[in-house]
Amino acid sequence: MAVKIRLSRRGRKKLAMFDVVVADARAPRDGRFIEKLGTYNPNTNPATVVLNEKQAIKWVMDGAQPTDTAKAILSYKGILYAKHLQVGVIKGALTQEQADAKFEAWKAEKEIQIQTKASTIQQSKAKSKASRLEAESKVSANRAVSIAAKNKAADDAIVASVVDAINESDEDEVEVANETTSDVVAETAALEEVVVEAAVEEVVAEAALEEVVAEAATEEVVAEAATEEVVVEAAVEEVVAEAAVEEVVAEAATEEVVVEAAVEEVVAEAATEEVVVEAAVEEVVAEAAVEEAPAAEATEEETPAAE
């Protein structure tokens, strides 16, 4: 089975990252793999490579064939140089300690080169940024100068127009002042007249107010007097009413006494008539008795004769 060291893609679109894997040559690119040796990120500058060096050297020594890109990555990390040294150790050209020392020295030198490249890139970026800023500042300064010149010209024109306007306004003000003086005098006289009229109206209003107050006081006094008169009349009427009531009571009492006297007189008259009637009755009875006695005697006299 042919074994290859190759890259397996991952990451998103336009930001790809790769895994360094050991896989069967017949497996698809992003398919199954035997072992993952590390990662490769080309998005940084310099590119970021992380490898398991021992396993990478082992697979290379075992005959795994790297692809072109994987070979460049292995060379960048010194894996191929380590293989060369290990072959020398196998052949007896040098010892393992010497090979390890040479590999460590190469790694240190390579790390210095990488750091130098990274610092150079950073410096170049900083210089490029500074040069761009300087160019932009120059452009801004030139733009500011041109704008200042335009503004100055515009300001000069505005100043000139303002001066002309001031001169014209001074002339107009002199004319207006002359015209205004007479207007002010007339307005002052009119204002004084208005003030005098207002004072007169105020005095008249105060007099009218005082008159109204006096009338109101008089009306109040009259109202109070009328109220007192009404109270007195009410008291008099009350006294008159009480006297009338007493008079009515007295008349009623008098009428009652007269009625009682009349009743007693009627009773006396009735008693007198009764006595007279009784006397008349007795007289009639007596007369009847007197008449009846001779009749009886005559009857008695006739009765024996009949026998």
Per-residue model confidence (pLDDT) at position 73: 93
> Which pLDDT score is estimated for 307?
43
Read off the tokens for 27.
């497996």
Task: Name 97's Cβ contacts closer than 8 Å, sequence gap at least 6.
Answer: none
Identify the pLDDT of residue 209. Answer: 83
How many Å apart are CA 103 and CA 94, to the nearest integer? 13
How far is 34 from 7, CA to CA, in rounded Å? Answer: 13
The ranges of the chain with pLDDT < 50 are 304-307
| Per-residue pLDDT at 269 | 79
pLDDT computed for residue 236 by the predictor: 65
Element (H, E) at 302: helix 96-306
57 CB-side CA count, 13 A: 14
> Both ends of the chain: CA-CA distance in Å?
217
**What is the reported pLDDT for 75?**
92
pLDDT tens digits, residue range 231-269? 667 776 887 778 777 886 677 677 776 667 766 786 677
Q: Which domains does the chain show, CATH number per domain?
A: 3-94 (3.30.1320.10)
